[in-house]
């Protein structure tokens, strides 16, 4: 289908192709059609506008003198998309999602930095930026979804990459979770997502069985398959497993003392293998830690430090930039050949925080491992451990380690590891770690730390706790249910080696001066 606008002149040249792409990780298939010379008064001759995928939704393409390309905008909102939809006669805009190209796809940025109010009669009346081939991040390529469109996205959700998970199909009316997919349907799903072939399907076809969706396995798009809505009510989602495509990639760490440290293993499709230590650079290590929700990379030991793996040693290496959210998104290239004695290892920082205190620099010590927060056991937790944590959190040095449970017990189980720091390590995971076991940590015995950040809680009379400062100095800190966070004022001690007085300022009661002991 071709779209014509006022101001066309000359003959209409046809530009036809078949392309695939994805919006926010979801696939669609569209026909690219129509090179339509335009002469908008404010733009000049030879300009054209097209929305790919269907006549009323998809990636926004612009043409100039027969040269077509994407619109590149860091900020693309419903205001801009509304102008596009209005010009196409497609009703109001219902979405302006980000575009994610297929692996290896070359972007063609042409028009940069378009800004619309939303009430312009045509796209050409918006503020148009530069027509240039300057590089454009893929997330800046713009998409317009219009109310009259037939756009349908497919995606695999709740998996570790866009190429594994539970199948869904979405249109402007909502999301439809697909159930009972067999190998044929999974094959079409994987192919349309650009994820290779299907390696795992939720179910196997049984003779004479009825299906909610039926594909032959050779269709180019899921839209060519048949839906039987009469079977929709009989879907049993509890029996469905994830679809896994050959393009699926995920990482894990094995053989370490916790899930954020160990031998790096990468799953490709259904097969787990290891990585040569020479192929694990700092950027890739950070991406692995980010994917595992384990903070940032702090150490990558070589020589199978976490033991010998099994299975293949992958000879394709990842070339991450370091800002990718998943290893799946990293470019790849030839890697080294090695045996399991050169298996790469990795230790991530984990995510630590101090909670239930007066700010981010005091409170109960909690560790996040793979997305779940848990408090640290108070057994063996000392000032050296707290010093490392305070430095790691950019909270200065440690002032005190209040008794177990001082900042509350938390509402989840206690992490059973103990740290044995010297106090000079840059991260807690650089310290020796031992596993205490559940019996060694009494319920509610959670570690706490007070760092020397700028803030202290108001003093409320007798609610005080005595702690030690660095360098042999000691002081009392104020605890209690105060609300405002007054600044911690320091009074000069008397001479070298003298004590440090701290003045805690209460927001309601008069200030209490606490003298060092």
Q: What is the CATH number of the domain that holds 198?
A: 3.10.250.10
**In terms of domains, do 369 and 445 share one?**
yes
Question: Do 41 and 121 share a structural domain?
Answer: yes
User: Which band of pLDDT confidence, cut at 50, 70 and 90, is reported for residue 368?
Assistant: confident
Q: Is residue 2 part of a domain?
A: no
Taking residues 256-285, what's their average pLDDT? 92
Count of structural domains, the chain: 5
Q: Is residue 63 assigned to a domain?
A: yes
> Nearest-5° angle of CA 8, CA 13, CA 16?
125
Do 112 and 29 belong to one domain? yes
Q: Which of 146, 179, 207 is the last residue of a domain?
A: 146
Q: Do residues 442 and 469 both lie within one domain?
A: no
If asked whether residues 175 and 73 sit together in one domain, one would say no
Predicted local confidence at residue 100, as pLDDT:
52
Give yes or no: residues 188 and 112 share one domain.
Answer: no
pLDDT band at 61 (very low <50, low <70, confident <90, very high): confident
Q: Is the pLDDT of residue 5 over 70?
A: no
- Report phi then psi at 429, rounded to 5: -75, -5
**122 lies in the same domain as 23:** yes
Q: What is the pTM (predicted TM-score) of this model?
A: 0.53
Out of 14-18, 65-69, 291-295, 379-383, give the one with best mean pLDDT: 379-383
pLDDT band for position 170 (cuts 50, 70, 90): low
**Would residue 385 count as lying in a domain?**
yes
Clarify whether residues 29 and 137 are in a common domain.
yes
Average of pLDDT values for 133-141?
79
Helix, strand, coil proportions of the chain in percent (round to 5)?
15, 35, 50
Asked, for residue 11, whether it belongs to a domain, the answer is no
Residues 462 and 480: their CA atoms lie apart, in Å, by: 9
Has residue 433 been placed in a domain?
A: yes
- Nearest Cα residue to 516 out of 504, 501, 503: 501
Q: Is the pLDDT of residue 182 over 70?
A: yes
301 CB contacts (<8 Å, ≥6 apart)? 277, 345, 347
Number of Cβ atoms within 10 Å of the Cβ of 432 = 11
Same domain for 141 and 169? no
Q: Is the pLDDT of residue 312 over 70?
A: yes
Is residue 7 situated within a structural domain?
A: no
Nearest to 78 by CA among 5, 154, 162, 143: 143
Same domain, 116 and 27: yes
Tell me which of 203-212, 412-421, 497-506 is least confident. 497-506
Confidence of residue 393 (pLDDT cuts 50, 70, 90): confident
Whether residues 220 and 272 share a domain: the answer is no
Q: Which of 111, 146, 181 is the last residue of a domain?
A: 146
Highest mean pLDDT, choosing among 172-186, 291-305, 471-485: 291-305
12 lies in a domain?
no
Q: Which SS3 state, helix, strand or coil, does residue 511 take? A: coil
CB within 8 A of 41, min separation 6: which ones?
7
Q: What is the pLDDT of residue 287?
A: 94
- Which domain, by its residues, includes 265? 249-348
Within-domain flag for 459: no
Nearest to 508 by CA among 456, 445, 449, 460: 460
Are 174 and 226 contained in the same domain? yes
pLDDT recorded at residue 501: 29
Decide if pLDDT at 497 tops 60.
no
Handedness of CA 314, 347, 242, 138 (dihedral sign): negative
- Give the per-residue pLDDT at 92: 86
Q: Give the per-residue pLDDT at 318.
A: 95
Q: Which of 171-180, 264-273, 391-400 has the lowest mean pLDDT?
A: 171-180
Of 146, 171, 198, which residue constitutes the final position of a domain? 146
Q: Is 393 exposed, middle or buried (0-12, 13-18, 19+ CB in 10 A)?
A: middle
Percent of residues, the chain, with pLDDT higher than 70 = 66
């Amino acid at each position: 289908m071709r779209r014509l606008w006022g101001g066309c002149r000359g003959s209409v040249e046809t530009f036809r192709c078949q392309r695939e792409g994805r919006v926010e990780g979801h696939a669609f298939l569209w026909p690219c059609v129509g090179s339509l010379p335009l002469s908008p008064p404010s733009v000049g001759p030879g300009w054209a506008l097209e929305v790919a995928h269907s006549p009323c939704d998809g990636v926004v393409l612009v043409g100039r003198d027969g040269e077509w390309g994407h619109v590149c905008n860091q900020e693309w909102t419903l205001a801009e998309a509304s102008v596009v939809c209005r010009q196409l006669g497609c009703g109001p805009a219902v979405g302006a999602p980000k575009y994610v190209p297929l692996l290896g796809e070359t972007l063609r940025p042409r028009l940069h930095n378009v800004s619309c109010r939303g009430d312009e009669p045509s796209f050409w009346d918006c503020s148009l930026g530069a027509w240039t081939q300057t590089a454009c991040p893929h997330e800046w390529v713009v998409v317009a979804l219009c109310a009259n469109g037939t756009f349908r996205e497919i995606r695999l959700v709740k998996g570790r990459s866009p190429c594994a998970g539970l199948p869904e199909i979405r249109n402007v009316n909502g999301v439809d979770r697909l159930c009972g997919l067999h190998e044929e349907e999974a094959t079409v799903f994987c192919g349309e997502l650009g994820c290779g072939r299907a390696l795992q399907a939720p179910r196997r076809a049984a003779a004479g069985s009825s299906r909610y969706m039926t594909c032959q396995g050779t269709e180019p798009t899921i839209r060519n398959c048949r839906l039987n809505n009469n079977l929709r009510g009989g879907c049993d989602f509890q029996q469905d497993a994830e679809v896994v495509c050959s393009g699926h990639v995920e990482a894990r760490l094995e053989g370490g003392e916790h899930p954020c440290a160990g031998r790096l293993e990468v799953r490709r499709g259904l097969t787990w293998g290891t990585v040569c230590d020479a192929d694990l650079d700092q950027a890739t290590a950070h991406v692995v830690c980010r994917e595992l929700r384990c903070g940032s990379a702090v150490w990558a030991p070589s020589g199978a430090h976490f033991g010998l793996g099994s299975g293949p040693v992958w000879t394709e290496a990842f070339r991450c930039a370091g800002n990718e959210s998943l290893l799946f998104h990293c470019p790849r290239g030839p890697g080294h050949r090695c045996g399991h004695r050169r298996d790469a290892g990795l230790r991530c920082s984990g995510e630590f925080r101090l909670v239930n205190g007066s700010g981010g620099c005091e409170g109960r010590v909690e560790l996040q491992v793979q997305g779940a927060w848990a408090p640290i056991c108070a057994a063996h937790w000392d000032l050296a451990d707290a010093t490392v944590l305070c430095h790691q959190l950019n909270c200065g040095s440690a002032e005190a380690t209040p008794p177990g449970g001082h900042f509350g017990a938390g509402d989840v189980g206690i992490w059973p590891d103990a740290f044995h720091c010297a106090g000079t390590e840059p991260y807690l995971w650089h310290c020796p770690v031992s596993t205490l076991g559940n019996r060694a940590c009494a319920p509610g015995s959670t570690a706490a730390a007070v760092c020397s950040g700028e803030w202290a809680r108001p003093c409320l009379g007798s609610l005080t706790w005595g702690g030690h400062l660095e360098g042999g100095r000691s002081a009392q800190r104020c605890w209690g249910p105060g609300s405002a966070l007054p600044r911690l004022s320091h009074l000069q001690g008397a001479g070298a080696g003298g004590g440090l007085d701290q003045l805690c300022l209460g927001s309601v009661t008069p200030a209490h001066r606490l003298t060092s002991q």
